[in-house]
Amino acid sequence: MSDAQEMLVTAYDEALLGLAEGGIPIGAALFDSHGTLLGRGHNRRVQNDDPSVHAETDAFRNAGRRRDYRDTIMVTTLSPCWYCSGLVRQFGIGAVIVGESTTFTGGHEWLAAQGVSITVLDDRECIEMMTKFIADRPDLWNEDIGVVE
């Protein structure tokens, strides 16, 4: 298992936790460049009734206040939406590892153009999890990405 794949396990476990809570199964984790976990989290729209907590924002929050994100790596099960891509850009997070961008593509190419290191893993389990969730709960999924039906 590559380092990236290994870090993805933490994000994937967060997504499973969110699913078990009745939420949207997207997980994320922030690591430093040595692979030390700084914070992990998952989408909390349903659980907290809070539209502002995406997986990446939850992991970022749980990592606490920091002065420098250049050496950090945001690992997420799904391509970061514009909200979460904006987070990465504003705080200068140096790298993003994306579980998959098959079911949804946010701003990871825009981030790459800004110099952020982007790795897309095309992880089969991440794809299956989101494919099933989107089929089961299109209403919730569309709400979470601001798509008006």
Interface ranges with a copy of itself (CB under 8 A): 45, 49-53, 57-58, 60-61, 64-70, 81-87, 89-92, 106-107, 143, 145-146, 148-149
Residue (82 or 124) nearer to a copy of itself, CB: 82
Q: Tell which residue, 119, 107, 117, 84, has the closest CA to residue 5.
A: 119
- In a 13 Å sphere around the CA of 124, the CA atoms on its Cβ side amount to 0
We find the least distance from the C-beta atom of residue 128 to a copy of itself, in angstroms, to be 24
Closest to a copy of itself by CB, 9 or 94: 94
Report the nearest approach of a copy of itself to the CB of residue 68 (Å).
5
Catalytic option among 14, 56, 143, 149: 56
* Count helices and strands in the chain by DSSP H and E runs: 6, 5
Note if 56 is an active site residue. Answer: yes
Question: Between the CA atoms of 70, 74, 78 and 81, what dihedral angle is there, to the nearest 10 degrees?
Answer: -50
Decide whether 135 or 148 has the Cβ nearer to a copy of itself: 148
Least distance in Å: CB of 50 to a copy of itself?
6
- The residue (of 84 and 130) whose beta carbon lies closer to a copy of itself is 84
Q: Which amino acid is at 21?
A: E
Nearest distance from C-beta of residue 51 to a copy of itself, angstroms? 5
Q: Which residues contact 16 (CB under 8 A, 6 or more apart)?
A: 25, 27, 129
Q: Positive or negative CA dihedral for 4, 16, 89, 124?
A: positive
Active centre residues (catalytic): 56
